[in-house]
């Protein structure tokens, strides 16, 4: 199955808070975000750009149309794709830690720049965090920086949990949302629920362990993966956390995260989840990328009924890893 009519006829643009943010970023800019308003992978990039106060042009496209111009930028045919103005190299690229390019790549007056594509939401986020590293202009780094062995370890730990989210939580989300027993009875809705809850709990237990580590050092506990510091680990998970309501809407019995006081032996874990989730909903860089709830309900119906031909949908159906 390839992208089909249900994918190609989705609502074509942002609504709600996201529409205001997109409207404020229509002017031509050197940095271009090719986006789909509904896409959680795009949302990772969008949050990163907002969080770091990077100037960009928002360009809405429907990635299921596979326009040749878009495929030239990203042969995988996926959003997010970022168009980045890259200067012509003066000498060969080096790997010894010294930069050949001393000026800012985002200078629109330079004529010798080419628009180069970057894709894959985590690669994009790491690029933006690394390139826009001036903390005065762009705020704290989203991954721990520094050359010392502690910083290297902490970066690796962040990447480990980014991997947990991408390879465990995100696939479990789609397997649950696409669960359609008439089409596939190889797993039950309870299997799908158990897997999503299990992987979410593993992540949240890690938040608790990190809190305890920080408390021992006399540092503030949460709310984020890096304590008081909002991070790329949080950004990696947020779009799916904000889409859990779709499972509540479409799937009998819903996600199944217990209400406060009903968590039994997991009460502490789910309490920590709620603390994190409440902070997510207060974060401007996040909430300004959200469209109207009713539009997500509409656009995800093709997943809930297992009718989408998207690459994510096909991978979920075929038990393969995410695109």
Ligand X SMILES: N[C@@H](CCC(=O)N[C@@H](CS)C(=O)NCC(=O)O)C(=O)O
Which spans of this chain sit near ligand X (rule: CB under 6 A)?
3, 36, 39, 41, 63-64, 77-80, 120-121, 310-312, 323
> Which residue, 250 or 300, has its beta carbon nearer to ligand X?
300
Cα angle: 237, vertex 4, 44; to 5 degrees: 15
> Which residue, 3 or 30, has its beta carbon nearer to ligand X?
3
Count of C-beta atoms within a 10 Å radius of residue 191: 13
Smallest distance from ligand X to CB 243, Å: 11
What lies within 8 Å, CB to CB, of 24 at 6+ separation is: none
Smallest distance from ligand X to CB 220, Å: 31
Got the DSSP string for 97-145? S--S--S-TT-TT-SSEEEEEEESHHHHHHHHHHHS--HHHH-S-SS--
> Which residue, 7 or 211, has its beta carbon nearer to ligand X?
7
Count of C-beta atoms within a 10 Å radius of residue 235: 29
> Which residue, 11 or 279, has its beta carbon nearer to ligand X?
11
Smallest distance from ligand X to CB 65, Å: 9
Smallest distance from ligand X to CB 197, Å: 23
First to last CA, the chain: 15
The residue behind tokens 């690229």 is: 93
> Which residue, 67 or 215, has its beta carbon nearer to ligand X?
67
Smallest distance from ligand X to CB 264, Å: 35
Query: Edge-to-edge strands of the sheet including 113-119?
Result: 57-60, 32-35, 81-87, 113-119
> Which residue, 120 or 211, has its beta carbon nearer to ligand X?
120
| CA nearest neighbour of 55 among 84, 79, 75, 35 | 84
| CA nearest neighbour of 289 among 238, 323, 237, 223 | 238
Cα angle: 68, vertex 80, 123; to 5 degrees: 115
Smallest distance from ligand X to CB 75, Å: 12
């Amino acid at each position: 199955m390839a992208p089909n009519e249900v994918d190609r006829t989705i609502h074509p643009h942002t609504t709600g808070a996201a529409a205001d943010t997109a409207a404020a970023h229509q002017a031509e800019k050197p940095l271009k975000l090719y986006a789909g308003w509904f896409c959680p992978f795009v949302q990772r990039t969008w949050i990163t750009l907002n969080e770091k106060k990077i100037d960009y042009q928002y360009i809405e496209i429907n990635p299921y149309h596979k326009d040749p111009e878009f495929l030239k930028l990203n042969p995988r045919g996926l959003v997010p794709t970022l168009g980045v103005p890259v200067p012509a190299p003066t000498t060969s690229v080096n790997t010894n830690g010294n930069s050949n390019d001393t000026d800012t790549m985002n200078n629109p007056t330079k004529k010798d720049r080419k628009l180069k594509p970057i894709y894959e939401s985590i690669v994009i986020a790491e690029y933006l965090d690394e390139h826009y590293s001036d903390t005065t202009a762009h705020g704290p780094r989203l991954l721990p920086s520094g050359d010392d062995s502690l910083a290297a370890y902490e970066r690796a730990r962040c990447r480990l949990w980014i991997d947990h989210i991408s390879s465990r939580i995100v696939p479990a989300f789609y397997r649950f949302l696409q669960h359609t027993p008439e089409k596939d009875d190889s797993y039950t809705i309870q299997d799908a629920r158990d897997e999503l809850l299990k992987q979410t709990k593993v992540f949240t237990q890690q938040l608790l362990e990190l809190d305890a580590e920080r408390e021992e050092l006399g540092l503030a506990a949460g709310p984020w993966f890096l304590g008081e510091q909002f991070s790329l680990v949080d950004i990696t998970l947020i779009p799916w956390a904000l889409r859990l309501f779709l499972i509540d809407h479409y799937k009998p019995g819903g996600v199944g995260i217990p209400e406060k006081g009903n968590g039994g032996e997991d009460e502490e874990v789910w309490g920590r989840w709620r603390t994190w989730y409440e902070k997510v909903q207060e974060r401007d860089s996040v909430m300004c990328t959200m469209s109207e709830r009713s539009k997500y309900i509409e656009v995800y119906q093709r997943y809930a009924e297992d009718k989408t031909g998207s690459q994510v949908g096909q991978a979920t159906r075929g038990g393969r890893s995410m695109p």
